Amino acid sequence: MKSKAVRIHGKNDLRLETVELPEITDDEILARVVSDSLCMSSYKAAVQGGSHKRVPDNVEANPVMIGHEFCGEVVSVGRNVEQYASPGDKFTVQPAMFYKGSLDAPGYSYPFYGGDATYIVIPKEVFETGCFLKYDGEAYYMGSLAEPMSCCLGGFHCCYHMQPGVYEHSMGIQEGGNMAILAGVGPMGLGMIDYALHGPRRPKLLVVTDIDPERLARAEKLFPAAEAEKQGVELHFVNTADKTAEDILDCTDGRGFNDVFVMAPVKPVVEMGDRLLAADGCMNFFAGPTNPEFSADLNLYNVHYGQTHLCGNSGGNTDDMKEFLEMAARSELDPSIMVTHVGGLDAVVDATLNLPNIPGGKKLIYTQISMPLTAISDFAALGEHDPIFAELARITDANQGLWSAEAEKYLLANAKPIGD
pLDDT in tens, 180-232: 999 999 999 999 999 999 999 999 999 999 999 999 999 999 999 999 999 99
Q: Which of 321, 402, 383 is nearest to 131 (CA)?
A: 321
Q: Which of 144, 103, 156, 101 is nearest to 316 (CA)?
A: 156
Taking residues 387-393, report their average pLDDT.
Answer: 98
pLDDT in tens, 11-24: 999 999 999 999 99
205-210/234-239 β-pairing: parallel
Q: Which of 25, 23, 14 is nearest to 119 (CA)?
A: 23
The pLDDT, as a whole number, for residue 420 is: 57
Distance of CA 97 to the CA centre of its chain: 17
The 10 Å Cβ neighbour count of residue 387 is 9
d(CA 190, CA 198): 12
The pLDDT, as a whole number, for residue 266 is: 95
pLDDT in tens, 294-331: 999 999 999 999 999 999 987 888 999 999 999 998 98
d(CA 324, CA 315): 13
- 269 phi and psi, to 5 degrees? -70, -45
CB neighbour burial string for 177-205, b if at least 16 within 10 angstroms, e if fewer: bbbbbbbbbbbbbbbbbbbbbbbeebbeb
Measured CA angle at 354 (ends 52, 214), to 5 deg = 120
CB 109 within 8 A of CB 118: no
The 10 Å Cβ neighbour count of residue 404 is 20
Half-sphere exposure of 294 (CA within 13 A, CB side): 15
Q: Where are the strands (E) in 111-204, listed by range? A: 119-122, 132-134, 160-161, 170-171, 178-182
Q: Where are the strands (E) in 168-305, listed by range? A: 170-171, 178-182, 205-210, 234-239, 257-262, 277-285
Q: Is it the case that residue 51 has pLDDT exceeding 60?
A: yes
Taking residues 86-109, report their average pLDDT.
Answer: 93
Residue 164 banded pLDDT, cuts 50, 70, 90: confident
What residue type is assigned to position 139 of the chain?
A
The pLDDT, as a whole number, for residue 166 is: 85
Query: Does residue 147 sit in helix, strand or coil?
Result: helix
- 109 phi and psi, to 5 degrees? -125, -10
The mean of the pLDDT values for the chain is 95
pLDDT > 90: what percent of the chain? 90
- Residues shown for the chain: 420
Q: Is it the case that residue 169 has pLDDT exceeding 70?
A: yes
